[in-house]
Structure 1
Amino acid sequence: MTGLFRGVGRSLAAGASIAVVVALTACTTEASVATLPYEQVDGALPEATTEQLDAILAEAMGLAKASGAIAGVWAPWAGEWTTAVGTDGTDDGAAPLTTDTPFRIGTQSESFACAVLLSLVDDGKVELSDPVVEYVDRVPGLDGITLGQLCHHTSGLGDYYGALKQTLVDNPARNWPQGEVLASGLASTRTGAPGEGYAASRTDAVLLALALEQATGTSYARLVDQYIADPLQLDHTTLPSGSTPPVALGGWVAARGADGAPICDAMHDMSTLSTSGGGPAAGMVSTLDDMRTWSQASASGVLVSESTASDQWAGAVAMGPDAPSWKNRALGADVYGPVRGWVGEVPGTLSASFTEPKTGLTVVVALDNSTAGPAFVQQLAFALASIGARVAPEAGGQPPLIALPWSVDQALAAMRALEVCAPPAA
């Protein structure tokens, strides 16, 4: 077993007073290495393209008040652009960032739980339609919720993050038992009846990971190793134990005034943030190259059967009644027109990873200030994708047709509108 994800150290159920302790079972065989379906041209993207990408990232850092950023764009037919800007912290002597610097992926973490679910469906161990109460039967209020609804975010469960966010910011080193996190989510106001409509909730991923442990008798860490980390050789993707802050890109978030407005000259240092407050929903740490691999593997479906991959994307639901038709939620991933992926947020860090499954066009980006919110990094990733999609092939000719439902100008305008720490007008 080669994966490093087992940094969790124990099963989620072991830390939850409301759950039954489950036995841990080791993986009995080494997983075969999965092969991605994209042949990446070796070398950098053209100079004019890299200048555009550099400029967009620099502007985004200024708007987000970020001191550090890590980003990459891969156009398999033309080349790649990877960069790390700034330092790991603002103190004198802070180390320069590199493209190998780990960063917190925030709510992108939930994608791993849903990928494990799909693999267990392939193995015949669970079904998407299975009631959660079949596996987590000592928790009240779960009637009518299925495993699949947890990945579609249609469970109707409230999001624990709203109630705990300020405590996470004010006391970042606190170690949160997963039972306490789950209990907070279950006590939150429901967004609707199960299956009624989309509403993002970190509670879904915490509950799903617990259900999968109970269904298999295996710790969540070992399930991720077996089905994802080992086959893809994600050697730098971990869920560190909650009591040990990860060695990763530092993070900042502005204090909030009584009116909720950010106080941008008073930033909270989130470098000691415990991963336990995020857990399977938002606690993971990864690297630029690992997230490229994971994004491409998820979008292309190489880890599951063809029928399961088809089911994953075919059942996408609208992201709310006012969302445009090109914004949908599949099982464990968001769909934005032709691209698939996730936006990640955790106090101190914003991130995003997107892949267009036919061509392999991939964008990964992380910023070390979360004040501007997840929509900001989403628009930044959209802008980077727009530039990458237009790059001509290495040998010349036309780039592949990738019909993005936004332009680079639209994405940049939306990103600029989300700036929250703008200086006062003259």
Structure 2
Amino acid sequence: MTRTPERRGSAQTAHRRITAALTTTGLLALTACTAPTTASAPPAEAATSATPSAAAPVRELTPAVTARLDKAIEGTRRQAGVPGVIVGLFVPGEAEYVRSFGVADKSSGAPMSDDLHMRIGSETKTFTVTALLRLVDAGKVGLDDPVSEYLQGVPGGNGISLRQLAEMRSGLFSYSEDPDFDKAFLADPDRDFTPEQLLGYAFKHPANFPPGQKFQYSNTNTILLGLVVEKVSGRSLGDFLQREVFRPSGLERTLFPVGAEFPKPHAQGYTTQTENGEQADATDWNPSWAWAAGAMISDLDDLRTWGRVVATGTLLKPATQAQRLRTLPTGYPGTGYGLGIFVNHGWLGHNGSLPGYQSVVVYLPSAKATLVVLSNTDNDYLGNENSTLFAKTITGIVTPGNIYDLPPAPPSSASPSG
């Protein structure tokens, strides 16, 4: 979700960014749009495949085009006040465009580098849902099983399916929108939250609407899916992801942290999502509050691989991947949400935001192109996620027929990213 500048610095604003990080950080962490995420889809709108049917033109990465990208990205970075950003654009048959701009550490002035670890926020959701779908393919869970079959104590759990959790259509209140959670997190960003504690903040609120009725981004959904994966597999979520997702995908620098650990080298992350609205170094804040919805760490090379893996279904049976890409309307122009993945003007993937960091990892099927954007601040510019601004700038130049864009969201609305 995004916030308007005038709300920056308030406790409520800080709380809302946390939510967005996992929504845009998620839609994705997946992030901001003009219509509220609770908007119902018009009855005539049906689910559609996220894969474009025709190829759109992709500009050749000539020296002139890369010079234009360099200038535009650096201009966006300076205008939005972003300390540093890593960009990777990979198009088969073209020279790779990999650049780092600005600094990784404002204190030392160390330059940003494309080999740094970064926190990825709601991009985590694509991994958690992939873990669930691996269990679907193994015949251990069914997408239309009620969550109550695996977890007790979920309000209305008999009528909420695993599919609805993954589609962000359960109606369950997002714990990261709860004022008490907000207060607890801001008072001690190093605190270690358990999944059960997070759900406690959510479950004291009534459902926002009956299951399946609308789209509304809620971090509560993905926390529940992470617990289902643990219950069914008999392993911790981190261990299951390592064995069933990271390793088969060839991801060597991606991890699901237990606490605040952050492998070096990494960029320092900066935020104004604090109690007093002043800038803080959030690098070592404990991401346990985001757990299955946004706690993960990765780097450019691994995310380049992952963007293609998740969008093409490398780890899944074709029928399961087809269900994943069956996107439903979100209320945001040009954006639909499937099972832990979104389609945005033809691009498939997710975005992420949590204090100190933002990310966009998307794949364009028509061109087999992958775009990765990683920045070391979650601060917005004129209500826009900075990661959205970078992705829009890049795609506007290279794929003008498929321009990634999430419009600014009203402060009261949750983003479809996380």
The reply to whether TM is greater than 0.5 is: yes
Structure 1 pair 257–60 and aligned structure 2 pair: CA distance change class (3 A): farther
Q: Does 1:380 align with 2:397?
A: no
**Partner SS state of residue 79, structure 1:** coil
Matching residue of 1:96: 111
How far apart are residue 185 of structure 1 and its match?
2.4
Where does residue 79 of structure 2 map in the other structure? 63
Distance of 1:169 and 1:279 partners within structure 2: 17
Q: Distance in 2 between matches of 1:188 and 1:77?
A: 52
Contact 1:74 1:388 survives alignment (8 Å): no
1:52 alignment partner in structure 2: 68
In structure 2, the CA distance between the partners of 1:274 and 1:255, relative to structure 1 (3 Å rule), is closer
The 2-side partners of 1:184 and 1:140 are apart by 13
Q: For residues 269 and 146 of structure 1, do their structure 2 counterparts lie closer, same or farther at Cα, with a shift above 3 Å needed?
A: same
**What is the RMSD computed on CA atoms of the aligned residues?**
2.5
Distance 1:299 1:84 in 2: 25
Q: Write the mapping of 1:265-304 to structure 2, written as runs, cut at 5 A.
A: 266-304=278-316
Paired letter, 2:224: L
Partner residue, 1:345: 353
Higher alpha-carbon deviation: 78-87 or 161-170: 161-170
| 2:131–2:244 CA contact under 8 A, matched in 1 | yes
Aligned residue type for 2:392: F
For the residue of structure 2 that corresponds to 1:143, the secondary structure is: helix
Deviations 1:367-411 (A, max 9, x none): 112121674422421331232336xxxxxxxxxxxx42x48xxx6
Using the alignment, how far apart are the partners of 2:328 and 2:182 within structure 1? Answer: 27
TM-score (norm 1): 0.75
From 327, 338, 358, the equivalent of 2:335 is 327
Structure 1 residue 335 displacement after superposition: 0.6
Counterpart of 1:306 (choices 318, 327, 335) is: 318
8 Å contact kept, 1:361–1:389: no
Task: State how far apart, in whole Å, the 2-side matches of 1:63 and 1:81 are.
Answer: 22
Which residue number in structure 1 is paired with residue 218 of structure 2? 201
Cα deviation for residue 56 of structure 1 reads 2.5
Cα distance 1:165–1:294, how it changes in 2: closer, same or farther (>3 A)? farther
CA distance in 2, matches of 1:189, 1:86: 45
Change (3 A) 1:126 1:255: closer
1:10-21 aligned at under 5 Å gives the runs none
Q: How does 1:159-170 map to 2 (within 5 A)?
A: 159-163=174-178, 164-165=181-182, 167-170=184-187
> Which residue of the partner structure matches residue 76 of structure 1?
92
**Quick check: 1:143 aligned with 2:158?**
yes
Over the matched positions of the two proteins, sequence identity in percent amounts to 28
Equivalent residue number for residue 126 of structure 1: 141
Deviation at 1:218, TM superposition (A): 2.2
Give the Å deviation of 1:168.
3.4
Look up the equivalent residue of 2:291 and give its one-letter code: G
The answer as to whether partners of 2:274 and 2:280 remain within 8 angstroms in 1 is: no
How many Å separate the matches in 1 of 2:72 and 2:173? 35
Match of 1:236 among 253, 256, 259: 253
Residue by residue over 1:211-256, the C-alpha shift from the partner in whole angstroms, topping out at 9 and shown as x without a partner, is: 1211222221222122210111111111112153554322122257
**Which amino acid is 2:191 matched to?**
R
Aligned length: 346
- The 3-state SS of whatever aligns with 1:387 is helix
**Distance in structure 2 (CA, Å) of the matches to 1:257 and 1:125:** 44
SS of match in other structure, 1:359: coil
1:15-34 equivalences in 2 (<5 Å) = none
How far is the alpha carbon of 1:190 from its aligned partner? Answer: 2.7
Q: Distance in 2 between matches of 1:170 and 1:45?
A: 47
Q: Which amino acid in the other structure matches residue 46 of structure 1?
A: T
SS in structure 2 of the partner of residue 335 of structure 1: strand
Q: CA deviation at 1:140?
A: 4.2
Alpha-carbon distance in 2 for matches of 1:216, 1:367: 34
Contact 1:73 1:388 (C-alpha < 8 Å) held by counterparts: no
Letter in 1 for 2:94: A
Residues 249/374 of structure 1: CA separation in 2 closer, same or farther (3 Å cut)? farther
2:236 match: 219
TM-score, normalised by the number of residues in structure 2? 0.77
Task: Report the 3-state secondary structure (helix = DSSP H, G, I; strand = E; otherwise coil) of the residue aligned with 1:383.
Answer: helix
Higher relative contact order (CA closer than 8 Å, sequence separation 6+): 2
Out of 131, 152, 158, the residue aligned to residue 167 of structure 2 is 152
CA distance in 1, matches of 2:350, 2:368: 15
Correspondence for 2:270: 252
User: Which residue of structure 2 lines up, in the alignment, with residue 35 of structure 1?
Assistant: none
Unaligned runs of 5+ in 1: 1-43, 391-402, 419-426
In 2, distance between residues paired with 1:188 and 1:63?
Answer: 40
Is the alpha carbon distance of 1:165 and 1:343 closer, same or farther for their aligned partners in structure 2, counting shifts above 3 Å? farther
SS of corresponding position for 1:52: helix
